[in-house]
Structure 1
């Protein structure tokens, strides 16, 4: 079995690429970083440091790479059994045309073997969004064939993969935490579901998508923003600050109540899940800087993302939300001259004020009570 994986960065190599290779699948990475592509194509392997209670270095083998802008990618798509991605929401749209061209060629060659495509991104129903983008490049006739032979499988992914350690000279070396979770929508596959240890199947994907979004992502981001305010450099330093840990845990409990109401999660089991997440943030072997986690605040203040979506859930069910609002308020204290979204947020904030800026990006009513309270908390934090 062969898989094409778009994105040979740390997440691609340290998470999805590793799971595929460990399952005995030949992995062809596609990326624009020529140095990484050349190194993978030359070595056909790389090292992954897996860190938890102890450190273990594992070698990922049976891999190669090609440039994702080359015509070779189209030929690969015409023949592989599986396509996965770890490129980020913006790049999904960019690669959709290439995927469409590859599928078109695949069908023109008479290859009707099932092809499954899984976008492994930090976004809700990312594969469905990729599917829509791919279909925009295909004729209605080809779309009808794709409906039969190609599965677009949504997934939820969870693994902390920080940037390369300082002083690391191997361009392919990557560090990951022990914990990983890759959950896929089993109802969307075409043909037989591949046996990949570490890939879990469910027929209720949204429960797990929102569990991860409302817990890991929400907690991670609030830890970062409160860490910035407290002048901490890393997530570990921040979560080991008792005041921050208390706030983050309380915010995750607020979002957790939404999940319990919406999906019927067991209270005790979810409380244990929150504790596991907090423990992951405190992993001493992972140096994850607050500036990295806090980046792109505009995207993270959007209605479907990790701050506003759980807040809207608390409004839907009439639940407490003051700790979630503190995380939202703290986002307005995040300044990073190297992050275009942080710069844009601060520019609009200075021009329009807190209420209008939050309402603009979150689609909340600028006159809503929660916006007023978030503004008050912002002033208190200041």
Structure 2
């Protein structure tokens, strides 16, 4: 079995690539990073290290690389042979990936072999966005052959520098949940959870792991801290984190069928992951993309708005918005753009237009 994975970064190699390899797939990574692609083709293997005390190491072999900017012919050949295509590139790059896949789908469809295309991104229903972008080019796709299951993915992969450019360090925990009804064929992946309704799992992860990470980053930087480990050693940060996740837990248990006991157990697991000293990350990196994170359907604003509209406690999430507004990572293009917008129109106008908050909620935040 063969897989094409777009995105040869740490998440692609350390998470999705490893799961595919463990399921018996020969994995071809497609990327524009010439150094990574050259190393993949030269070594044809790399090592995944588990970030914990005495953590295990796993050799991922039978891999190759394609430089999509320089070798479109090889990409077409790989897609023709692929049984599954995955991505881990960032949701904003999916239209570019769609342009790389679309020209070859008609010929691939003619083979009649089932093909699953899955966007493994940190976004809600990212595969739908990839499918829509592909359809903009192809016009139609035979659903009996090509399928687009949505998925939810979760694994912390910290910033790192390794002696071998291909080796990667990842946390022990991972979760990959796939939309079962949209899966093509009968060969399902092991160590992957298939569910009839994906949205509860997407939002549970988004409003616990990602909201939690945002709380640590934005409040931690407000206190002058630099890393996740430093922040998680500060009682004020952990207390604030728990307040935030207690509020998002209300949203998750009211909207979906998770019990409060289930969610509380999940929260403790997530906080334990944040405290893993082997995973410590730079808070500026964790908090980057602030405009996206303050979007109306993202990790902070959506649960905040819902709780406010239902007259439920939302103080911690409102404070989190205020900390995000004070975040000042001048190396983040979104940060620079947000600062410009606020300077031109003020905080209230920014939150009304960008985050689509009500005037009452805006007054609370201010």
Q: Please, what TM-score do these two structures have when normalized by structure 2?
A: 0.97
Match of 1:294 among 287, 290, 293: 287
Deviations 1:48-82 (A, max 9, x none): 11023542222111111111233121221122100
Give me the whole-angstrom Cα distance separating, in 2, the residues matched to 1:64 and 1:318. Answer: 54
Are the equivalent residues in 2 in contact too, given 1:97–1:137 (CA < 8 A)? Answer: yes
Give me the whole-angstrom Cα distance separating, in 2, the residues matched to 1:75 and 1:247. Answer: 51
Are the equivalent residues in 2 in contact too, given 1:258–1:317 (CA < 8 A)? Answer: no
Give me the whole-angstrom Cα distance separating, in 2, the residues matched to 1:319 and 1:193. Answer: 45
Deviation at 1:361, TM superposition (A): 1.4
Are the equivalent residues in 2 in contact too, given 1:74–1:105 (CA < 8 A)? Answer: no
Matched, 1:148 2:144: yes
Deviation at 1:240, TM superposition (A): 1.8
Structure 1 segments of 4 or more deviating over 3 A?
none
Q: Secondary structure at the match of 2:86?
A: strand
**Matched residue, 1:129:** 129
Give me the whole-angstrom Cα distance separating, in 2, the residues matched to 1:235 and 1:359. Answer: 31
Gap runs ≥5 in structure 1: 376-382
Matched, 1:372 2:363: yes
Give me the whole-angstrom Cα distance separating, in 1, the residues matched to 2:277 and 2:222. Answer: 21
Deviation at 1:287, TM superposition (A): 2.5
Deviations 1:65-105 (A, max 9, x none): 11123312122112210000000011111110111112123
**Matched residue, 1:112:** 112
Deviations 1:126-163 (A, max 9, x none): 00110000000013xxx1x4222111010000000012
**Matched residue, 2:6:** 6
Give me the whole-angstrom Cα distance separating, in 2, the residues matched to 1:181 and 1:57. Answer: 19
Give me the whole-angstrom Cα distance separating, in 2, the residues matched to 1:53 and 1:333. Answer: 36
Are the equivalent residues in 2 in contact too, given 1:238–1:244 (CA < 8 A)? Answer: yes
Are the equivalent residues in 1 in contact too, given 2:308–2:361 (CA < 8 A)? Answer: no
Are the equivalent residues in 2 in contact too, given 1:311–1:324 (CA < 8 A)? Answer: yes
Deviations 1:265-311 (A, max 9, x none): 11111101111111111101112110001101001111111111111
Matched, 1:81 2:80: no
Q: After the TM superposition, which residues 155-174 of structure 1 pair with which residues of structure 2 at under 5 Å, given as runs?
A: 155-165=151-161, 168-174=162-168
Q: Secondary structure at the match of 2:201?
A: helix
Are the equivalent residues in 2 in contact too, given 1:2–1:26 (CA < 8 A)? Answer: yes
Q: Secondary structure at the match of 1:255?
A: helix
Q: Secondary structure at the match of 1:148?
A: coil
Cα-Cα RMSD: 1.2
**Matched residue, 2:58:** 58
Matched, 1:315 2:308: yes
Q: Please, what TM-score do these two structures have when normalized by structure 1?
A: 0.93
Are the equivalent residues in 2 in contact too, given 1:164–1:173 (CA < 8 A)? Answer: no
